[in-house]
Amino acid sequence: MQEAMINKAKQLLADGIVDRVIGWKRGEFVYDITPAIFETAEELEKDFVYDDFTAANVSKYLVKESKKEGKILAFLKPCDTYSFNQLIKEHRVVRENVYIVGIPGGPKLDAEKIKEKGITGILSVKNENYTLKIETVYGEETMPFYEAVLDKCASCKSKKHMIYDELLGEEGDVLDSNRFDMVEKLENMTAQERYDFWREQLSKCIRCNACRNVCPACTCEKCVFDNPDSGIENKAPADSFEENMFHIIRAFHVAGRCTDCGECSRVCPQNIPLHLLNRKFIKDINTFYGEYQAGEDTTSRAPLNEYKQSDCEANIVHERGAE
C-alpha cells in the first residue's frame, strides 16, 4: 500500500493537481507514526510511511491546512472520512482545497498491547496469517495478530468511505458493529458499580488535553478548557469533581457530533476508555431520537440542534428501572 500511495502522491504532485501532501512520518521508534506534510517527490520517497502502526486520523489537520493556499492531498481511511464529512458540515474545512484519496483502513496495531506481553525493543512487525512476527533487539517474538489490534479497530463501524475524490484499493461496507457492547455491559451494572468503574478510570486523568486536541469534533478556537476565567483552565484535576466535570463536559460538547473515530481513546496516555462516554451519547441518541451517526452526510441536522414535539421527556432516564 505504501508504495502505491507514494506513487499516487508523486503523480498528483507532478500533474499539478495538488501542491502538498499530508501523510505520516516515522519518529524515534517504529510505532511512532505521526502526521507530516510533504512537498516534493524526494521528501515522499524518503519519509512517507503507511503501515500497521499508522492509525492517526489526519482530518483535523485539514482545518488549518485547507485554509492555506493551494490544494492538499489527504489519504483518508474509512473512519477518517466520517470526521472529514463532519468538518465540512460544520464549515471548518475548505472542501475545494483538499483532494481526498480513500485508502483501506485497519485493523491497526497498538504498540502498548504488544508491550503488555512483555515484548520490548520492537524493531519491526509483520503480519503472517494473523500471527504477528515481531523483530526486537532481543530476537524474534510472535503473538496473535488480533490481540495487538487497537481498541478502536476492534469495534470498527464501517469500512466504507463516506467521501473521496478517488479510491485506492477496494471499497468495503458499513459493518454490523459490536461497538455498543461495552456500553451495554456498563448500563447493566448497578449505579455503585458504574460509579466505582468510572472513579477508577477517570481518576487516572492528568488533564493533558490530548483527547480534546486530537478530536476532529473539538475544533473550537476558544475552548472552555482554555478559558482563564473558568477556573478549570489547563490544569490537572484537583479532585473527583473536576475529573467528572471535565469528562462530562468534553463528551457532552461532542454529543451528536462525535464521529466515533476512536482517536480520543487512542491518544490518551492513561488509557482511559473515553470512547465509552461518546458511545453512550451515540447510543442514547439512537434510542431516543432515531439512528444517527455524525459524519455520514454533510446536510442532516445534528440531533441537539433539532427537536420533535413528540420527543420523550427527560424523566425517561429516571423511569428506567431501579438502580
Partner 1 sequence: MQVNENKEFQPLIVAFCCNWCSYAGADLAGTNRLNYPDNIKIIRVPCSCRVNPMFILRAFQRGADGVILCGCHPGDCHYTSGNYFTRRRMTLLFSMLDFLGIERDRTRVEWVSAAEGAKFAATMNEFTEAVKKLGPNRRLEDLRCRKQ
Closest approach of partner 1 to the CB of residue 205, in Å: 13
- Are 260 and 157 contacting, i.e. CB atoms less than 8 angstroms apart? yes
- Are 276 and 181 contacting, i.e. CB atoms less than 8 angstroms apart? no
Alpha-carbon distance 259 to 262, whole Å? 8
Which residues on neighbouring strands pair with residue 33, listed in sequence order?
26
Residues of this chain, 61-100, that bind ligand SF4 according to CB under 6 A: none
- Are 24 and 54 contacting, i.e. CB atoms less than 8 angstroms apart? yes
- What number of chain residues touch partner 1 (CB under 8 A)? 45
303 class by beta-carbon count within 10 Å (0-12 exposed, 13-18 middle, 19+ buried): buried
Closest approach of partner 1 to the CB of residue 204, in Å: 15
Tell me if 211 contacts ligand SF4 by CB under 6 A. yes
Residue with cell 451519547: 281
Closest approach of ligand SF4 to the CB of residue 44, in Å: 28
Among the listed residues 94, 223, 298, 302, the single contact to ligand SF4 using CB under 6 A: 223
List % helix, strand, coil for the chain (3-state, nearest 5).
Answer: 40, 15, 45
Radius of gyration for the alpha carbons in the chain, expressed in angstroms and rounded? 21
Choose the contact partner of 47 out of partner 1, ligand SF4, none; CB within 5 to 8 A by kind. none
| Per-residue binder mask for ligand SF4 (CB under 6 A), 177-206, x = binder | ----------------------------xx
Retrieve residue 49's grid coordinates: 510511511
Residues of this chain, 255-274, that bind ligand SF4 according to CB under 6 A: 258-264, 267-270, 272, 274
Closest approach of partner 1 to the CB of residue 109, in Å: 30
Neighbouring residues of 210: CB distance < 8 A, sequence distance ≥ 6? 267, 268, 269
Residues of this chain, 273-292, that bind ligand SF4 according to CB under 6 A: 274-275, 278
Choose the contact partner of 261 out of partner 1, ligand SF4, none; CB within 5 to 8 A by kind. ligand SF4
Phi, psi (deg, nearest 5) at residue 197: -55, -50
Candidates 229, 235, 290, 280; CA nearest to 258 is 280
Among the listed residues 217, 232, 255, 276, the single contact to ligand SF4 using CB under 6 A: 217
Tell me if 303 contacts partner 1 by CB under 8 A. yes
**Residues at the interface with partner 1 (CB under 8 A):** 186-187, 191-198, 224, 238-242, 244-245, 248-249, 251-252, 255, 277, 280-281, 284-285, 288-289, 303-304, 306-309, 311-318, 320
